[in-house]
Amino acid sequence: MTTTETAAGVLPVLADVPPTELRVAVLGVGMMGADHVARLQSRISGARVVVVSDAFAEKADGVAAGVPGCRVVADPPAAIADPEVDAVVIATPGQFHQDQVLACIQHGKPVLCEKPLTMDAESSLAVVRAEDEYAARTGRRLVQVGFMRRFDPEYAQLRALIASGEIGEPLVMHCAHRNPSVPSHFTSEMMITDSVVHEVDVARFLLDEEAAAVTVLRPRATRHAVAGESDPLFVLLEMASGRMVDVECFVSTGIAYEVRTEVVAEDGIALIGLDTGLVRQSRGPAGAVRSSTITPSFKERFGRAYDIEVQRWVDAARRGGIDGPGVWDGYAAAVVAEAGVQALRTGGRTEVRMAQR
C-alpha cells in the first residue's frame, strides 16, 4: 500500500477528495463547538453541519436555527449513529470524549475531537488500542485530536526551520502561556491538564521526541489568582534526549492572551508568538508611545490555525481518513499531563511512563 507522512504520522494515501459534501455532526455547541459550527458554515469548503447536539436544548436549538438544513439530535450516540452523518466534531466537556470517540470508531466515522482525547492516560490508551485495532482491519485512521497549534502558520514555520537544520540542534525551549483570566473553577491542576498540555504537544511536535520527566514549581502567586490556587506555575519538561523545555503558565494576567515559544539551538535562536500586528506610534500623556493590539483570547490568536485544522480534517475525512495529530498524540499528552499533576502535588521531579505502542 502507498503511504504518505503527514502531521498525523504515516497514513495510507487515500483517493482524491470525493465530490460530495461531508455531512458533519457537532457534539457540544458551547464556545468551541459553536465556533466550529460557524467556521464550517462560513469558511470551510466541502462540508456542512447537518446535526448539532448539546446537553442544553436551548443552546442546540439556537445554533441549529442559524444553519439551514441543520437538525438537533439531543442524544450524542444517536447523532453519531445517524445515517445522514458522515463525520463528527466533538466539542463536549472532556468527560464525555472517551465514549463518544469510541462510538465514532465503532461506526467507522472520522472524528475531530477537541482536546483532551479523554480525561486520563489509561482511558486514552484504551482509545489508542481501539483505533489501532480498527486500523489493522481497515487500513484507516479515524480520530484526529484538536491540538490546533500544529496548524498555526508560525508553529509550522518554526518546525520547518528546525527540520532544515539551519539553526542547528535545538537545546532549550522557552514558552510563555498566558491567559487574561480564567473562571473561578479553574484550578492549578487544570493549568497543567488544560493549558500546559498544549506546550506538551508543541514540544513533541517541534522536537520530535517524548518528554521523560516533569517538574512543576510554584512561583509567588498573583493576588489575582483563583482563591487557594497557585498562579503562575513554572513547568520544566525534560525531553528524552536531554533537551529542556520551560513553560511559564500564567492564567490571570489581566492583560490579554499570549503564547510565545522560543527555541534556542546550537547555531541560532527562533521566536514565535509576538502577536504584534499593526504597530502604532502616537503621543500619549506621558510622551510618545509605540503600541499594538494583543489578541484577547485563544479563539482570535489561533483562529487561522483552527480554520486550517478544520479544512484539512474535512478534506481528509472526505477521503475517509485524518490529517493531523492522532490518538497517540492525545495519549502522550495525557501521560505527560498526568505526570505534571503528580509533580505539582508532590513538588518533586516526576518521570513520564509511557506505554508501548
Which residues of the chain form contacts with ligand ISE (CB under 6 A)? Answer: 179, 194-195, 198, 298
- Which residue is associated with the grid cell 520530535? 208
Work out how close the CB of 232 gets to ligand ISE at its nearest, in angstroms, rounded to a whole number.
Answer: 12
Residue nearest to ligand ISE (CB): 195
Work out how close the CB of 326 gets to ligand ISE at its nearest, in angstroms, rounded to a whole number.
Answer: 18
Q: Which of 179, 120, 159, 115 is nearest to 326 (CA)?
A: 115
CB nearer to ligand ISE: give 198 or 318.
198
Work out how close the CB of 303 gets to ligand ISE at its nearest, in angstroms, rounded to a whole number.
Answer: 12
SS3 153: helix
How far is residue 214's CA from residue 322's CA, in Å, rounded to a whole number?
30
CB nearer to ligand ISE: give 100 or 252.
252
Burial of 286 (C-beta count, 10 Å sphere; 0-12/13-18/19+): exposed
DSSP state of 212: E
Inter-CA distances, 303 with 35, 112, 125, 276, Å: 10, 16, 30, 15
Q: What is the largest CA-CA distance in the chain?
A: 69
CB nearer to ligand ISE: give 18 or 254.
254
Contact 329, 210 (CB under 8 A): no
Work out how close the CB of 178 gets to ligand ISE at its nearest, in angstroms, rounded to a whole number.
Answer: 9
- β-strands 111-113, 87-90 pairing: parallel
Return all residues near 122 (Cβ < 8 A) that are at least 6 apart.
Answer: none
CB nearer to ligand ISE: give 179 or 215.
179
Work out how close the CB of 138 gets to ligand ISE at its nearest, in angstroms, rounded to a whole number.
Answer: 31
CB nearer to ligand ISE: give 261 or 319.
261
CA pseudo-torsion sign 156, 159, 161, 167: positive
CB nearer to ligand ISE: give 186 or 331.
186
CB nearer to ligand ISE: give 85 or 336.
336
SS3 302: coil
Contact 330, 150 (CB under 8 A): no
Work out how close the CB of 39 gets to ligand ISE at its nearest, in angstroms, rounded to a whole number.
Answer: 16
Work out how close the CB of 301 gets to ligand ISE at its nearest, in angstroms, rounded to a whole number.
Answer: 8
Q: Which of 162, 229, 175 is nearest to 202 (CA)?
A: 175
How far is residue 110's CA from residue 294's CA, in Å, rounded to a whole number?
35
The count of other CB atoms within 10 Å of the CB of residue 178 is: 20
CB nearer to ligand ISE: give 96 or 132.
96
CB nearer to ligand ISE: give 298 or 328.
298
Work out how close the CB of 93 gets to ligand ISE at its nearest, in angstroms, rounded to a whole number.
Answer: 11
Work out how close the CB of 131 gets to ligand ISE at its nearest, in angstroms, rounded to a whole number.
Answer: 22
